[in-house]
Amino acid sequence: MMIKNFNSLANTEVKKKALLILESGLSSAQPKNFLKSFVSKNHILLGKNQILLSNYKRIFVVAYGKAADSMAEYVSKKINVSQGIVVVPKYINSSITSKRFKMFYSGHPLPDKESVRAGRAVQKFVNSCTKEDFLLFLISGGGSSLLALPDEITLTEKKYVTKLLLQSGATIDEFNCVRKHLSMIKGGRLVQNLNCDGCALVMSDVVSNDLSVISSGCTYNDNTTVSDAMNIITKYSLGKKLPKKVITHLKHGLNTRAIRPSRLRIKNKIIATNQDCLNAMILKSKQLGFATKVYSPIRHDVVIAAKKIVQMIPRKKNSCMIFGGEPTVQVKGKGKGGRNQELVLQILKLIHNSNDRLLVSSISTDGIDGNTTCSGALIENNLSNLQKISSYLKNNDSHSFFKKYGGLVKTGPTHTNLMDVGLIIKY
């Protein structure tokens, strides 16, 4: 079981069924389930295109993101990797057993000195490849923070920008647009001088499934401009809050020709999305006898997302509505929580006085929700004395609420990342 506190949470039949559905989504998100369709002995299969690895002298791997270690471990068992680099969050106990990989444990969600060290190492590694080599990138969400090589600004300034954007409620697309224009490797710049053939297998953690956004598109041509980044800063009123050096750097970019990668030699392929998790959950829900519907993607602020989800609740009993995506949170308080716990609490606020018997849950597939060690929350609306929900929400303190009333879902790091999944059961 990936849900570590499954048994303690499953104290009613409906909770047990809900947890089984969530578990199916988490299990389906494991990289090996997808990589087996693309990587086989001595081959990489990209649709109709087949890359024969025996044509190359050496096979190199660069893996970064929350699923990097599990992706690299699977690949190393299928193909003869000469050497590689794996970059994962520092809170992960790596599943890598192969000695051919150099490991980096970087900061997330805020970059740190190890993120910079990893960024420099990856850049040097990529630029050292020759025409006789093949370079395989294994990319998953989280790479924007794990690989950091600030362009004409300090790490401290980059961290501050990251923190402000995290708190602003900006979407991941907006967030990464700004980050790309403050980086020496993002937006395709990592591979602009690549001398060998290669490809990137990518697990999507963004609603749009936009390759230029996932981990800030280090291996993919950027389609944004410095002007786009400045507009985002204006949109969230961050201009006066950002370090002067950051604004100066961006304004300089407005007045000079942006550095854009020339035609890239890298083929990028999305191998897994949030929909893959939802498909597994739909199947399990139907197997358990529920009338099942889907609402996807969830992409708005949690307040808006909660209202939309509640509007979609099925009318009939014994129904399950499954949803997935990634809402945003505007952080104004000083509490603990994450977008999943906050979403569940926002929904509970809307349904806790309902005459219908409902269960709601939302969890992150990476196992870490916000500034907590939990994956999300699960709760029924039949609890009495649910006091001061609004005050918990006002302080962005959903974690404290669920710690008091129960319902925290714990998985620990899952070594994967396909955004969030959730459900509402009417019973």
The model's pLDDT over 186-231, given as tens digits with 9 standing for 90+, comes to: 999 999 989 999 999 999 999 999 999 999 999 998 889 999 999 9
Residues 152 and 223: their CA atoms lie apart, in Å, by 21
Query: Distance from CA of residue 111 to its chain's centroid?
Result: 15
Residue 258 is predicted with a pLDDT of 54
In sequence order, what E strands does 204-326 have? Answer: 266-272, 291-298, 319-325
Q: What is the mean pLDDT of the chain?
A: 94
The model's pLDDT over 96-124, given as tens digits with 9 standing for 90+, comes to: 988 899 999 999 999 999 999 999 999 99
The model's pLDDT over 31-58, given as tens digits with 9 standing for 90+, comes to: 999 999 999 988 999 988 899 999 999 9
CATH numeric code, 6-29+274-426: 3.40.1480.10
Nearest partner of 376 among 368, 388, 386, judged by Cα: 368
Domain residue limits, the chain? 6-29+274-426, 32-149+184-222+260-272
Residue 164 identity: L
The model's pLDDT over 305-358, given as tens digits with 9 standing for 90+, comes to: 999 999 999 999 999 999 999 999 999 999 999 999 999 999 999 998 899 999
Residue 383 is predicted with a pLDDT of 75
DSSP state letters, 13-55: HHHHHHHHHHHHHHHHT-THHHHTTTEETTEEEETTEEEEGGG
Show the tokens assigned to 273: 């999305």
Show the tokens assigned to 183: 């980086």
Radius of gyration for the chain, computed over Cα atoms and rounded to the nearest angstrom: 22
For the chain, give the percent of residues with pLDDT over 70: 97
Residues 221 and 225: their CA atoms lie apart, in Å, by 12
Average pLDDT on 384-402 reads 89
Residues 70 and 416: their CA atoms lie apart, in Å, by 8
Residues 277 and 365: their CA atoms lie apart, in Å, by 9
Using CA atoms, how far residue 426 sits from 8, 14, 56, 290, 320, in Å, is: 22, 9, 56, 9, 6
Q: Is 298 helix (H, G, I), strand (E, B) or coil?
A: strand
The model's pLDDT over 235-244, given as tens digits with 9 standing for 90+, comes to: 999 989 999 9
Helices (H) then strands (E): counts for the chain? 15, 15
Residues 366 and 35: their CA atoms lie apart, in Å, by 18
Residues 32-149+184-222+260-272: name the CATH superfamily: Glycerate kinase, MOFRL-like N-terminal domain (3.40.50.10180)
The model's pTM: 0.94
Asked if 361 and 379 count as a contact pair (C-beta separation under 8 A), the reply is yes
Asked if 268 and 190 count as a contact pair (C-beta separation under 8 A), the reply is no
